[in-house]
A and B are shown apart, each in its own frame.
Chain A
Amino acid sequence: MPSKLIEKTMRVNRLPHIWCPGCGHGILMRDVAQAIENCGLDPDKVVIVSGIGCSSRAAGYMNYNTLHTTHGRALAFATGVKLANPELTVICITGDGDCTAIGGNHLIHACRRNIDITSIVFNNNIYGMTGGQYSPTTPHGEKGTTAPYGNIDYNFDIPKLAEAAGATFTGRCTAYHVQGAVKLIEDAINHHGFSLIEGMSVCPTYYGRKNKKGDSIAMMNWQKDVCIDAKVAAKLPPEKLEGKILIGELSRDESKEEYTDMYMKIIEKCGGNK
């Protein structure tokens, strides 16, 4: 029996999902749904846009207006949806490859425009759908099927990238820290401007197995051990933060005007609203 939340927010007849046993994506998808519920949004006005890859299959399971687009282009499609009808709450679910490799250009420009879209990157550090190739977030030195001798690329820090590109809200959450994740996504949805959340997922099937990270439980335990809330971290000396990953809200800027608001002013100025 699905829970009340799942019953209400998911297309139950489309479940079970296609993700591997132990994958973190299901937890993150549920967190997004819980956050939408907590925000009290009208489901008719919520649009979920996704690209291609494991992460992007989430759109199909969620009971909202859902748009499963082409590889890397979710944010560009989402930009069109939002500008066409600013009344809609547009949430983008994308992956590390989808968002920061093939879709990297759309990411930085959506950040720069400060259009009111909430983007959640399900980061499993690997291309899962195609069987375990290294992605822009596969850590330096680790393995993928296309990095059999170890990855010589350096990996992105997605929230930092987004902040530098102009995103007015960034944060990071994990599949392990459920309550923190729900609260963070809620805050991101409520933020009026572009927000980017990195959702640290786990991929025991490809990334985990290739790099001897253990099973899903071991990988989640690692998340528990290594992550520290940014607010807590702010009070600690640097030596205590060695090797730690910050989670929670990482940056916020309320000073920039939102893109569609500015466009509506142009329409008003041109007399197009009459």
Chain B
Amino acid sequence: MSDKRFQLLQGNEAVVEGAIAAGMRFYAGYPITPSTEIAERSALRLPQVGGKFIQMEDEIGGIAAALGASVAGLKAMTATSGPGFSLKQENIGYAAIAEIPIVIVDVQREGPSTGLPTSPSQGDLMQSKWGTHGDHPVIVISPSSVQECYTETVRAFNMAERFRVPVIFLMDEIIGHLREGCEMIPPEELTISNRRIDREFNGTLAYAVQEGNYVPEFAPFGKGDHFNVTGLFHDLDGFPTNDNQQTDSQERRLLDKITKRRDRIQKWEEVDCDDCETMIVCFGGTARAVQGAMDMAKQQDFFKIGMFRPITVWPFPEEALNKIIRTNKHLRQIIVAEHNDGQMVLEVQRIVEGRVPVIHLGKIDGTTITPEEVLKKIEEEY
């Protein structure tokens, strides 16, 4: 591997480099288009840094092995695309209830079932939040550039470790296969979070939260702390319970650790949102078309366009969007551009509550939204 600081990389490759910088030392997965390069580069790179790679027999085995490795103390990741993301859902819920840090990459492709395996889509946005059954916490991050594939993967690992949750890195084929320059920021220049290891377990309850903390400290297998990990609701010892009060307090703590600290998790980009007349809300690869449209609009005598781009898509940066709507007196319309039949638009409509018209620009034919289509939509709706 080249050790040059600036490299030309594919989004999928940058995810692996970011993950290794963040401390990933275990990858388990199953080949699937358009995410396979993540497995391939992990297979090549991990043993070079003393890490482990394994190609499992199926998608479920991929996430299961990664979770096993995380319990044994390694930072772990798996990657997939639509069909595989569906298969992994049950164990995403397991990670949520058992509080096992893990990063799951989903490079979205078009359509349900096998769909269009090589075409871009953003149709898994709602699945990334609600895919596994039952109420559960989850953090979802979506990058818009190869550089963000690197730096936001680091943040994904930090969030997973800090909050002991599954973090979903929601990419799309556009960014996964995009090649651009990427700065390989070394770990010593990055903020790296590690799970808080309980060094003196000595009979402390495995799932009890220490004072001043919001997640239980972690005791990796093999360090002398015999405790139980289960997907059943459990008491503070980690043992199954049917007690309704304990169930309620565990479930609420799991949800609260994210919702009450969302200001530390949410991240978004605002471009000209203070005084634009049309604001485009978009995420992931779609933002590239929106940026193109904004550049074109500046060269013409066009309406003033702004862009609001959630980088953390779940929990959605609700307060930030609200603030723009409250303070930007020029805002006449919001267009939500996404490669699906209308998913983020539902969240935006919920937040906007009719104060400004919210319009959807979607595409589900496997091609990308173009800057021209964005401009056309703005004119049509104005």
Q: Do A and B bind each other?
A: yes
* Binary interface encoding of chain B residues 56-99 relative to chain A, with 1 for a CB under 8 A from any of its CBs, else 0: 11101100111111111110100000000000001100100000
What is the CB-to-nearest-CB distance from A72 to chain B, in angstroms, rounded to a whole number? 8
In the complex, chain B residues whose CB is within 8 Å of the CB of A70: 64, 90-91, 94, 231
In the complex, chain A residues whose CB is within 8 Å of the CB of B186: none
In the complex, chain B residues whose CB is within 8 Å of the CB of A108: 57
Among A63, A81, A269, A273, the most chain B Cβ lie within 10 Å of the Cβ of A81
Chain B CB within 8 A of A251 CB: no
What is the CB-to-nearest-CB distance from B157 to chain A, in angstroms, rounded to a whole number? 16
Chain A CB within 8 A of B203 CB: no
In the complex, chain A residues whose CB is within 8 Å of the CB of B64: 69-70, 73, 76-77, 79-80, 106
Chain A CB within 8 A of B28 CB: yes
Taking A85-B72, A109-B56 as contacts, is the C-beta distance between A267 and B26 under 8 angstroms?
no
What is the CB-to-nearest-CB distance from B73 to chain A, in angstroms, rounded to a whole number? 7
Taking A68-B230, A73-B60, A106-B57 as contacts, is the C-beta distance between A79 and B68 under 8 angstroms?
yes
Cβ-neighbour of B61 out of A11, A73, A81 (below 8 A)? A73
Cβ-neighbour of B229 out of A63, A67, A80 (below 8 A)? A67
Report the interface size class on chain B: 35 or more
Taking A14-B239, A68-B232 as contacts, is the C-beta distance between A266 and B26 under 8 angstroms?
no
Tell me the chain A residues, 50-70 only, with Cβ under 8 Å from chain B.
59-60, 63-70
Instruction: Report the separation of the CA atoms of residues A176 and B335 in the bound assembly, to the nearest whole angstrom.
Output: 71
In the complex, chain A residues whose CB is within 8 Å of the CB of B322: none
Chain B CB within 8 A of A154 CB: no
By the criterion CB–CB under 8 Å, are A80 and B221 in contact? Answer: no
By the criterion CB–CB under 8 Å, are B229 and A76 in contact? Answer: no
In the complex, chain A residues whose CB is within 8 Å of the CB of B252: none
Chain A CB within 8 A of B205 CB: no
Chain B CB within 8 A of A45 CB: yes
The A interface is mostly helix, strand or loop, or mixed, namely helix
Report the interface size class on chain A: 35 or more
Taking A64-B226, A70-B231 as contacts, is the C-beta distance between A81 and B50 under 8 angstroms?
no
Taking A270-B47, A272-B50 as contacts, is the C-beta distance between A60 and B56 under 8 angstroms?
no
By the criterion CB–CB under 8 Å, are B228 and A59 in contact? Answer: yes
Return the chain A residue nearest B66 by Cβ. A80
By the criterion CB–CB under 8 Å, are B239 and A78 in contact? Answer: no
Chain A CB within 8 A of B48 CB: yes
Return the chain A residue nearest B93 by Cβ. A70
In the complex, chain A residues whose CB is within 8 Å of the CB of B48: 270-272
Taking A14-B239, A60-B239, A84-B52 as contacts, is the C-beta distance between A76 and B47 under 8 angstroms?
no
Among A11, A69, A266, the most chain B Cβ lie within 10 Å of the Cβ of A69
The B interface is mostly helix, strand or loop, or mixed, namely mixed
* Binary interface encoding of chain B residues 33-52 relative to chain A, with 1 for a CB under 8 A from any of its CBs, else 0: 00000000000001111111
By the criterion CB–CB under 8 Å, are B50 and A44 in contact? Answer: no
Chain A CB within 8 A of B366 CB: no
Chain A CB within 8 A of B357 CB: no
Among A65, A83, A267, A272, the most chain B Cβ lie within 10 Å of the Cβ of A65
Return the chain A residue nearest B50 by Cβ. A272
Chain A CB within 8 A of B351 CB: no
Chain A CB within 8 A of B222 CB: yes
Instruction: Report the separation of the CA atoms of residues A85 and B64 in the bound assembly, to the nearest whole angstrom.
Output: 15
Return the chain A residue nearest B221 by Cβ. A65
What is the CB-to-nearest-CB distance from A257 to chain B, in angstroms, rounded to a whole number? 16
Instruction: Report the separation of the CA atoms of residues A45 and B220 in the bound assembly, to the nearest whole angstrom.
Output: 11
What is the CB-to-nearest-CB distance from A268 to chain B, in angstroms, rounded to a whole number? 9
Return the chain B residue nearest A45 by Cβ. B222
Chain A CB within 8 A of B240 CB: yes
What is the CB-to-nearest-CB distance from A197 to chain B, in angstroms, rounded to a whole number? 21
Taking A79-B61, A80-B68 as contacts, is the C-beta distance between A66 and B229 under 8 angstroms?
yes
Return the chain A residue nearest B58 by Cβ. A105
Chain A CB within 8 A of B376 CB: no
Among B74, B91, B228, B229, the most chain A Cβ lie within 10 Å of the Cβ of B228
By the criterion CB–CB under 8 Å, are B67 and A77 in contact? Answer: yes
What is the CB-to-nearest-CB distance from B251 to chain A, in angstroms, rounded to a whole number? 18
By the criterion CB–CB under 8 Å, are A79 and B65 in contact? Answer: yes
Taking A14-B239, A60-B239, A109-B61 as contacts, is the C-beta distance between A44 and B69 under 8 angstroms?
no
Return the chain A residue nearest B74 by Cβ. A84
By the criterion CB–CB under 8 Å, are B69 and A83 in contact? Answer: yes
By the criterion CB–CB under 8 Å, are A109 and B224 in contact? Answer: no
In the complex, chain B residues whose CB is within 8 Å of the CB of A271: 48
What are 21 contact pairs spanning A and B, CB under 8 A? A11-B239, A63-B226, A65-B225, A65-B226, A67-B68, A69-B94, A70-B94, A80-B54, A80-B64, A80-B66, A80-B69, A83-B52, A84-B26, A84-B69, A84-B72, A85-B72, A85-B73, A106-B61, A267-B50, A269-B47, A272-B46
* Given A73-B91, A79-B68, A80-B66, 15 new contacts (CB under 8 A): A11-B226, A60-B228, A65-B222, A67-B221, A67-B228, A76-B57, A76-B61, A78-B68, A79-B61, A80-B26, A80-B64, A81-B68, A84-B69, A88-B221, A272-B51
